[in-house]
């Protein structure tokens, strides 16, 4: 059996700063926050999206709507694993002609984002879709890249990346679990 020891690579303050930076980058690129909708991908994309929205509203004085998206029905490996538990999908506004920023905790193979893009296109026709992630750990299997990245984290395929956020886990940070021989 392989032993793993988690190593913390971002602490709570690092995460907070990263979220704040992403919020600034988004409002910079769009000259404000008009027509923006943040959509968090279940599970930890949702509180991160809420954090970004909160940060934007602090310096733009605009309320940015936040939606939730569960991509369970769009996954390309559904026939390989039975699925029973799903998060809710809830969009506070019609996304058609809005600028959607998808938010997730870790960008890895890109398959979740592919599923999310399919899901979004079933829910409306946004003017544009962008992607914000707290951590990009590499190893993409699809031509997908993030527009906003909290931290680039080079990893090996054997490693596991764990994100915890205050709103959900009572602690905040990013850990890497390295398999030990």
- Binding region for other proteins (CB under 8 A): 70, 72-74, 78-86, 88-90, 118-119, 122-124
**97 CB contacts (<8 Å, ≥6 apart)?**
35, 125, 126, 127
End-to-end, the C-alpha distance of the chain in Å comes to: 8
In the complex, the smallest distance separating the C-beta of residue 86 from other proteins, rounded to whole angstroms, is 5
**Smaller CB separation from other proteins, 51 or 67:** 67
- With residues binned 3-state (H G I as helix, E B as strand, rest as coil), the percentages for the chain, rounded to 5, are 30, 30, 40
**Smaller CB separation from other proteins, 10 or 69:** 69
**Smaller CB separation from other proteins, 26 or 115:** 115
**Smaller CB separation from other proteins, 3 or 84:** 84
In the complex, the smallest distance separating the C-beta of residue 76 from other proteins, rounded to whole angstroms, is 9
Q: Side by side, which strands form the sheet with 128-136?
A: 66-69, 36-41, 99-107, 128-136, 148-152
**Smaller CB separation from other proteins, 78 or 167:** 78
Q: Which helix (H) or strand (E) holds 23?
A: helix 12-29
For the record, the structure tokens of 92 come out as: 């506070």
In the complex, the smallest distance separating the C-beta of residue 78 from other proteins, rounded to whole angstroms, is 5
In the complex, the smallest distance separating the C-beta of residue 122 from other proteins, rounded to whole angstroms, is 4
In the complex, the smallest distance separating the C-beta of residue 83 from other proteins, rounded to whole angstroms, is 4
């Amino acid at each position: 059996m392989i032993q793993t020891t988690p190593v913390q690579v971002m602490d709570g303050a690092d995460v907070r700063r990263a979220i704040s930076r992403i919020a600034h980058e988004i409002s910079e690129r769009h000259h404000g926050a008009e027509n923006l909708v943040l959509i968090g991908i279940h599970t930890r994309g949702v509180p991160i999206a809420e954090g970004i929205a909160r940060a934007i509203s602090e310096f733009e004085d605009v309320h940015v709507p936040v939606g939730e998206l569960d991509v369970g029905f769009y996954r390309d490996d559904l026939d390989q694993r039975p699925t029973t538990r799903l998060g809710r999908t809830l969009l506070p506004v019609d996304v058609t002609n809005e600028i959607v920023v998808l938010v997730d905790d870790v960008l890895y193979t890109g398959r979740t984002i592919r599923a999310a893009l399919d899901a979004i296109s079933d829910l409306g026709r946004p003017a544009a879709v962008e992607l914000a992630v707290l951590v990009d750990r590499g190893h993409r299997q699809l031509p997908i890249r993030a527009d906003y990245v909290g931290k680039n984290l080079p990893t090996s395929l054997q490693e596991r990346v764990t994100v915890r956020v205050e709103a959900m886990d009572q602690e905040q940070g990013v850990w890497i679990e390295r398999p030990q021989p």
